Structure formats: C-alpha cells, structure tokens
Amino acid sequence: MSKIAAIQMVSTASIEENLTAAGHLLAEAAAQGVQMALLPEVFAVLEGGPMAPFAEELGSGPIQEFLADRARDLKMTIVGGTIPLATRPGKKPADSDYRITDGRVRPASLVFDPDGTLLARYDKIHLFDVKVADKQAAYSESRSYEAGEELVVVDTQCGRLGLSVCYDLRFPELFRALFLRGAEIVTVPAAFTKVTGEAHWEQLLRARAIENQCYVIAAGQGGRHNERRETWGHSMIVDPWGCILSQIEFGEGLAVAEMDLEYLRDIRQRMPIAEQMKL
C-alpha cells in the first residue's frame, strides 16, 4: 500500500508565489504520509504569453532545484506537473539541436525520487490548439511550446509510473501504449478549462483508468487566474475499477488516497485485457 496525492493549485505569473504555495501543499501531503505527489500542469508559472522567459535547461534552474530539494527534504517522489524547458531530451550541449531556437519551449513533466534525483522526463506530446466557448476563446499552445515525441514509463517506489499531460487525456492510444509498457499508475497534470473540464474531465479520467486497469492521479489547476483564464480543478485519484477515491473541487488543496497494487493485479488477472487484445 502507498499513499498518493494530487495537488491542486491556482497558479499565477509569479514563480516565487507559486513555488511558495506548492511548498506548503507538498509539506501538507508529507504530513499525511504521502509517498508520491503530483503537481498540476504549469504549476510554477501560468502565463498567457510566451514561456521562453521562464525556461530552464535540464538540470539547472530554480524550479528544478525546488522540486529536487522538496523531494529530498520530504522523502517523497514528486512529479513536477510541467515546467518550461529550453532544451530537448536525449541531446547533449554540443549537439546542434540541443537547444530550441525559435522562441518556444518544451512542456516537460519531471519525476524526482526521494533522494532528489531526476528519474524521468516526459515532454507533452499533444498540444492544446483548440477553440473553446470561454472568455479566452482560442488556445494555441503550439505558439509557445514544441511537442514531445516519446512515451515515458519509469519504476518508482510506489509502482511503475506512466506519464501524460492534460490534453493527452483525449488520446486513448497514448494510455494504451503506457499500459502495454507495464504502467500501473498514470499521472495527468492538467490545466483543463472550466468549459471543457465540466463537460469531459471526470469521464475521460475514469475511462482511461478502466480501459487500462491502472490508477490515475490527476492534478489540475482549479480557479480563476486572471480576467480571461479559469480552470476546472476537480483534481482526483481514480482506481483501476474507475472509482474516484478522493477529489477536491475548487481552489488549492490535496486529494489523497491509498493505492493498493495487489488490488490492481487482481483486477488484471481476473480480467486479462492485455492477453485478449485483438487489434
């Protein structure tokens, strides 16, 4: 049994304010015995303009230092929502394509183990370029972000973890690929709009958990960030049978639940989807 948490925030354009808020919430999670915590998408800075001014190189910068230090101090696995990175994964500084040069950044979800060591990096594959019936009206993430290409699954102290981000949730083939790579838990840091979240957030999360017989930890932004931007919140933890174990609706806070991998493995044994797939 492991105790896990989805941390919900209402982030602003101030990195200092956001990191202070995240630090308090992570400490609260640790006080409840949480072993793995997920922060929401763009937890460190939620800004409507270009993200390049806030970008870090992998391995250095105040946001990554914060995540590593909190993981080490709290003896907790931390999945850092997303942060803006100016460099591509699998590249070296000497490589010509190491750094992004067109003013965009990578939206990266980083996993730190309880020693503060970086375990994994996942760059969001599906970018949110859509029209929504809200005050912002149109979202064009590809203007600020460069999409990732690689799936990521990593072993942690709590189980085998698959990584996703926000809009990825609408692409079930990504989750099925994580399932086939052995994922027992999938993290979904998000900043779902109020309009799309109210319509589809819970349904999609429960479907992905049921289809792939996994725990889903979904940490969202949850509130009004400025006059144009409002997010849905409703961060939750869903079990492999599709049951919501814990949820917080709006504002800052924690959704905390116990995760039982024996229960997960029993479901997979009694209903062996992986062995019965035809396509």
Pull the structure tokens for residue 32: 């409840």
Q: Report whether 156 contacts 35 (CB < 8 A).
A: no
Q: Which of 47, 141, 158, 166 does the annotation list as catalytic?
A: 166
Residue 155: CB atoms within 10 A of its CB come to: 13
Q: Which of 124, 158, 194, 252 does the annotation list as catalytic?
A: 124
Q: Is 124 a catalytic residue?
A: yes
Q: Which of 273, 169, 180 is nearest to 217 (CA)?
A: 169
Separation between Cα atoms, residue 256 and residue 248, nearest integer Å: 9
Beta bridge partners of 112: 78, 118
Question: Measured between alpha carbons, how far is residue 21 from residues 25, 28, 37, 117, 231 in Å?
Answer: 6, 11, 14, 22, 17
Q: Report whether 121 contacts 109 (CB < 8 A).
A: yes
Q: What's phi and psi for 241, nearest 5 deg?
A: -95, 0
Q: Which of 198, 209, 235 is nearest to 220 (CA)?
A: 235
Q: Is 214 a catalytic residue?
A: no
Pull the structure tokens for residue 142: 């590809």
Pull the structure tokens for residue 130: 């859509």
Secondary structure element (H or E) that encloses residue 21, with its range:
helix 15-31
Q: b/e string for 31-46 if b means 16 or more Cβ within 10 A?
A: eeebbbbbbbbbbbbb
User: Are β-strands 215-220 and 235-238 bridged in parallel, bridged antiparallel, or unpaired?
Assistant: antiparallel
Q: Which of 41, 141, 230, 252 does the annotation list as catalytic?
A: 41
Separation between Cα atoms, residue 21 and residue 279, nearest integer Å: 45
Separation between Cα atoms, residue 183 and residue 209, nearest integer Å: 11
* Residues marked as catalytic: 41, 124, 166
